A and B are shown apart, each in its own frame.
Chain A
């Protein structure tokens, strides 16, 4: 008998209102329906009401976790349109902020994934250490979130050279933390048993659903805008793009952990080069934006962000189109979650990191006969019980 489990749209620990309908037969998920739109705020329209210098603040507010990715892609688009060259120092600062954001975003995801499978220690640890990244961002920009660092033609704030050793030291402190998480996840037989083979997204499906970012890289697709189409300082630093081939939740977690090492590597190289540049030269003056169109891309923590700007020569864009990575990644749940048990649904849905957090309310409703209630807490409990069961096997 087919039953429906609605997940959402309102859940206590969740960050965005989204609505998933799981169709289940017994324990097995047979279909999934995704309804979005609870978060529609009309940013593309608001953006056409603002002038070019105000838009970074608007697009920053698309997403709090990727609050540098959208301004990053936007300034790339406008600079592409107007053919603006950015000072070298500004390029390094941009890359540093972009990578710091990736670090904090991956910490956040790790914590939530840990919570889903009943490893609340990982949750608390990673959120505790995420604060260190927020501290670095606060030292640089004055804000923990919404750094407001980007402007067309450069950055708004400089990183003074005497601040660099302090930031380097803070980054070194993070390395040992990431080592700890790598140990906690990659060396734990229970997590291996719990996450391997769960929520598999094959390479064919990944291509079919156009997934991007870590979700694609865990399925064996070797894409990364930073390397394939270098912008800012990414062409001048060395880093690897970790790619894994199984496409399951475990690989998605490992890809993110490996990426954190690369991020630190990029930040340290940028800081090293930043020291050699003269202070203060952080922006190019722009007199006017010519008519035309431009595109900008950035590899956000979740994948490629794409911005398109069309200008008619006035001080406002006449069209601003935004494509965010989660939009593609969420759709891939359609194949990843189907065929799994309900206990695995929570972690599978969360594995693409759709800014979609924990503990929602969910209800199992029997459509034909009487009603049966299974709340989201039970769903998470089911998931945690499964881990517990596996853990006992290993003892």
Chain B
């Protein structure tokens, strides 16, 4: 296990990237960080800049105005950077598959390491997704 990977196992810093969500997944992400679930006790912290982030939490469907920005932001992130698709929209566009304004799935634009389906996924599911991501890094 490389040094970088080893350091990633503790205190992942996450950056929250809403593509065009309905807010729910975003609320649940914040819920996971506030007192009831309190992800911060594991050192998982929301950061203000993509350049500090280890994990990109993507919510919502890409649309024509922002799908290029997802790629642009991913390129700015220091590698290794893991993308976690939160919610059905980010996993496979869900009900917005028929929309005229959704060009493609998130995983066609950037590589996705973990999918957390649900509309919206509960904070427990988000925590579970992150834990599974950390476990997969260990192996």
Give A contacts to B, CB under 8 Å.
9-17, 37-43, 45-46, 49, 57-58, 61-65, 67, 108, 111, 123-124, 127-128, 131, 144-146, 355, 357, 359, 361, 375-377
B69 touches A9 (CB 8 A): yes
A40 touches B24 (CB 8 A): no
Give every chain A residue within 8 A of B25 (Cβ-Cβ). 64
* 4 closest cross-chain pairs (CB), A and B: A64-B24, A64-B23, A127-B34, A42-B99
**Count of CB-CB pairs between chains A and B under 8 Å:** 121
Q: Which residue of chain A has the shortest Cβ distance to B24 in the bound complex?
A: A64
- CB under 8 Å from chain A, chain B span 1-34: 15-28, 30-31, 34
Contact of A67 among B19, B24, B61 (CB under 8 A): B24
Would you list 21 pairs from A and B whose C-beta atoms are within 8 A, ordered by A residue?
A: A12-B46, A14-B18, A15-B21, A15-B27, A17-B66, A39-B60, A41-B20, A41-B63, A41-B96, A43-B99, A45-B100, A46-B95, A46-B98, A46-B99, A67-B24, A127-B35, A128-B36, A146-B24, A146-B120, A376-B48, A377-B48
B100 touches A42 (CB 8 A): yes
Cα of A46 to Cα of B96 in the assembled complex, Å? 7
Q: Which residue of chain A has the shortest Cβ distance to B119 in the bound complex?
A: A146
A64 touches B120 (CB 8 A): yes
A263 to chain B, nearest CB (A): 19
A15 touches B96 (CB 8 A): no
B26 touches A64 (CB 8 A): yes
Give every chain B residue within 8 A of A355 (Cβ-Cβ). 23
Contact of B26 among A15, A38, A67, A146 (CB under 8 A): A15
A336 to chain B, nearest CB (A): 22
Q: Which residue of chain B has the shortest Cβ distance to A14 in the bound complex?
A: B18
Describe A's contact surface by its main secondary structure: loop
A61 touches B100 (CB 8 A): no
A128 touches B35 (CB 8 A): yes
Give every chain B residue within 8 A of A377 (Cβ-Cβ). 48
Cα of A67 to Cα of B46 in the assembled complex, Å? 25
Cα of A361 to Cα of B46 in the assembled complex, Å? 13
Known contacts A46-B99, A127-B35; A12/B65 CB under 8 A: no
A32 to chain B, nearest CB (A): 20
Give every chain B residue within 8 A of A46 (Cβ-Cβ). 95-96, 98-99
- CB under 8 Å from chain A, chain B span 44-81: 46-49, 60-61, 63, 65-66, 69, 73
Cα of A364 to Cα of B24 in the assembled complex, Å? 30
Give every chain B residue within 8 A of A57 (Cβ-Cβ). 95
Cα of A131 to Cα of B49 in the assembled complex, Å? 28
Contact of B23 among A42, A49, A63 (CB under 8 A): A63
A375 touches B49 (CB 8 A): yes
B21 touches A12 (CB 8 A): no
Give every chain A residue within 8 A of B122 (Cβ-Cβ). 144
B20 touches A17 (CB 8 A): yes
Contact of B16 among A13, A58, A61, A62 (CB under 8 A): A13
B99 touches A41 (CB 8 A): yes
Q: Which residue of chain A has the shortest Cβ distance to B46 in the bound complex?
A: A12
Contact of A13 among B28, B36, B46, B69 (CB under 8 A): B46
Give every chain A residue within 8 A of B21 (Cβ-Cβ). 15-16, 39, 64
Give every chain A residue within 8 A of B120 (Cβ-Cβ). 64, 144-146
Known contacts A45-B99, A64-B25, A375-B48; A10/B69 CB under 8 A: yes
B45 to chain A, nearest CB (A): 10
Interface centre among B27, B96, B122 (most CB of A within 10 A): B27
Cα of A131 to Cα of B123 in the assembled complex, Å? 11
Per-residue contact bits, chain B 81-114, to A (CB 8 Å; 1 contact, 0 not): 0000000000000011011111000000000000
A102 to chain B, nearest CB (A): 15
Q: Which residue of chain B has the shortest Cβ distance to A13 in the bound complex?
A: B46
In the complex, given contacts A16-B23, A40-B20, what are 4 additional A-B residue pairs having Cβ atoms less than 8 angstroms apart? A17-B18, A46-B99, A57-B95, A63-B22
A380 to chain B, nearest CB (A): 9
A134 to chain B, nearest CB (A): 8
A224 to chain B, nearest CB (A): 24
A41 touches B61 (CB 8 A): yes
Give every chain A residue within 8 A of B15 (Cβ-Cβ). 12
Cα of A108 to Cα of B28 in the assembled complex, Å? 12
B23 touches A361 (CB 8 A): no
A16 touches B18 (CB 8 A): yes
Give every chain B residue within 8 A of A127 (Cβ-Cβ). 30-31, 34-36
Give every chain B residue within 8 A of A108 (Cβ-Cβ). 27
